[in-house]
Chain A
Amino acid sequence: MRKYIYLLLLCAAVISGCADSSSRATSVYMLVDCSGTYTSELKKAKAIVGYLLGTLQPGDALAVAKIESGSFTEKDIIAKVTFDKRPSVSNNQKRAFQKKLDEFVAAAAKGSAYTDITGGILQGAEFLNETGAGKKYILIFSDLKEDLAKGLIRDFPIRMDGVTVIALNVTKLRSDNVDPREYTSRLDAWQKRVEKGGGKWRVINDLERIEKILE
């Protein structure tokens, strides 16, 4: 009889151990460039967030943050949420998130003077690791031209284990048109930096293929 009780307890332990919710969850941290040259692209960013809200499931997490002069701070997070396990509550959270983002886009008028992408990525990686999700994505909606304010130290390796970094809508600058090598070298530099940190790198410029973001 005692043998059966032990067996039953073992089964219960195995089942309860299997019931993990975090490892299969997806966390997305989206960085939106709010520097002077990129503010006009915010409507596209809103569409991407809309897609993410429609795709992410209960239990997943989403945060949208802006890239400004010094982005390694929680203050730059526009909205963040971990969706509830219940679909009905999760839907309400999504509505609230969308409302917050609408308010931000409506209020955004003036771009920042500098662009601290590295700080934003560091902040994003920290957020993603805290969620403990199985799939972690950082979406960078920017031209990837980093312009750091004087005194900021960002030239060090960043730890990106298990994080997929996706650069979205990387627009070509005027200088890129003069020398396209500048554009490719900019992308290559970011790819090397991410891959060196243990992350994966992808670029999606065509927003028609938006559904490939979370593949």
Chain B
Amino acid sequence: MSFESLIFMPNHPTLSVLIWAGGLVILLYLARIPAHHLLKSLSRAVYSAMRLGSRSIQSAIRHLQQRNREVLLAAGAETVERLTEREFNRVHAVVKQNLQEYPALHRTMADLTNRIDEDYKQSAEVPPSPAGWVNAVDSISKITSMGDSLTAKIMGEIKKGLDQDHKKAMDEYRKSGKRRHELLNKMMPYWRNLVQAMEKTGKTITGLQDRSSVIDKRMTEYEGILAKTDKAERILSSSSLVQFAVSGLVLLIAIGGAVVNFNLIALPMSEMVGGGSYIGPFKTSHIAALVIILVETAMGLYLMESLRITRLFPVIATMDDKLRHRMIYVTLTILIILAGIESALAFMRDLIAADMQALRQSLAGVENAEASSRLIPTIGQMVMGFILPFALAFVAIPLESFVHSARTVLGLFLIGFLSILSFLLRLIGNIVRYTGELLIKIYDLIIFPLIWVERLVRGKEQCKIATTKEGAK
């Protein structure tokens, strides 16, 4: 149906259009109320649906937030528990190493003190005993001199005896002084030992004090987590994001290492499993190389678990110590064997690559150039082949951090995504609602002449009714 067919008066196209427009306006006027209802119902239905959807998403966000909070706090509590446990272990080690010897130390110190005490007592200065002849001298001094030679002789003898006694007494005194000094000299190493023992004990006690302050800090953190405070949640959340980013970066580095490792062993694996067979769209040799790398990574994981560095598998963590030690030896042995295999494969790769190079040169008709020194790259490849499995073993540590932090970080991302979705639903609902209202206004605008006439007629009718009522009164 073309526009020309609507023009029923070819000589007066404008009139035709006007008649059509008038007819349309009348039709629209007649359908005004149902059309208004339709537009309102439609916009309200969409608005309500969007709002309902948004509310549901908001409810899901709240649930997710709650769950995320619980996961975060649980992970945080576990981490702090581990850190506290480690501190307690250190305290235990200090106590075991140093303070378990404390009774022996105490006994040593008591012995040393006793010895020092004894020596001190022995070294005490004993005043020389008063000589018995002092009274005799006193009595003799009272004898009056008779001026005879006998008395003089007696007195001379007494003097001589006195001098001899004095000399003997002085010698004895000097000897005892010397002995005291020797005893005091002997005390010095005991004093030193005592000081050293005291210093050692002091250091141990200081170390224990430091540890106890760290434990206090951890316990405060733990209390905050148990109390589910917002501060604890904020700290854990930011810590989780940092952990996620750092562990993700380290995992990327590990993936790079795995790719290098893969390229080292993929070619020689074709010598073992064949170069032309496929499993699905992948070469069997590539899958075999990948399996070796994955087995190495798995062994690394088990080793780290057995060493209790990571705790990804509760079964291993709760294993009996004897069994766990056996597992350490087994995984380490397998890892060493695999590293040896890789090293051999790297060597083989070098041989195959050299053979291929020689073949290509001969096919191209070029003389085989003797390689200047192939020893260094060969050794390099072999060493790399041996080291990379062990390097891959350590991937367990960032993997654990990544897995734990990913739970909360993914939860945060999901919350963000759902928030945006909820906002968009509300936005769409509001847009539809106001678009419905706008369409009603536009509808009325199109048929405004008839609405104007209607109002005019209604106004007159109302006037008539009012006049009739007044007349009746």
Contact = CB atoms under 8 A, between A and B. Distances in A.
Interface string A19-60: 111011100000000000000000000000011011001111
Contacts of B365: 50
A19 B280 CA distance: 7
B159 to A, nearest CB: 123
Interface stretch (A89-97, A175-183, A190-198): A89-97
Q: How large is the interface on A (under 10, 10 to 19, 20 to 34, 35 or more residues)?
A: 20 to 34
Contact of A19 (B275, B279, B362, B363): B279
Interface residues of B, number: 21
Given A19-B284, A88-B271, A98 B279 contact: no
**Candidate in B271, B275, B280 with the most chain A CB atoms within 10 angstroms:** B275
B276 A21 contact: yes
B163 interface: no
B352 to A, nearest CB: 5
B275 A57 contact: yes
A53 B278 contact: no
26 contacts: A15-B279, A18-B278, A20-B278, A21-B276, A23-B278, A24-B276, A53-B359, A54-B360, A54-B364, A57-B276, A58-B270, A59-B274, A59-B276, A59-B277, A86-B271, A87-B267, A87-B271, A87-B356, A88-B271, A88-B351, A90-B275, A91-B355, A91-B356, A95-B362, A98-B362, A98-B363
A50 B271 contact: no
B276 A25 contact: yes
Contacts of A83: 276
B277 A88 contact: no
Which 10 pairs of residues, A with B, have the shortest CB-CB distance?
A59-B276, A85-B274, A58-B275, A21-B277, A50-B363, A58-B276, A18-B279, A18-B280, A91-B359, A21-B276
A23 B279 CA distance: 11
Nearest to B355: A91
B468 to A, nearest CB: 92
Interface in B259-310: 267, 270-271, 274-280, 284
A85 B280 CA distance: 17
B352 A21 contact: no
Given A87-B352, A87-B356, A88-B355, A54 B363 contact: yes
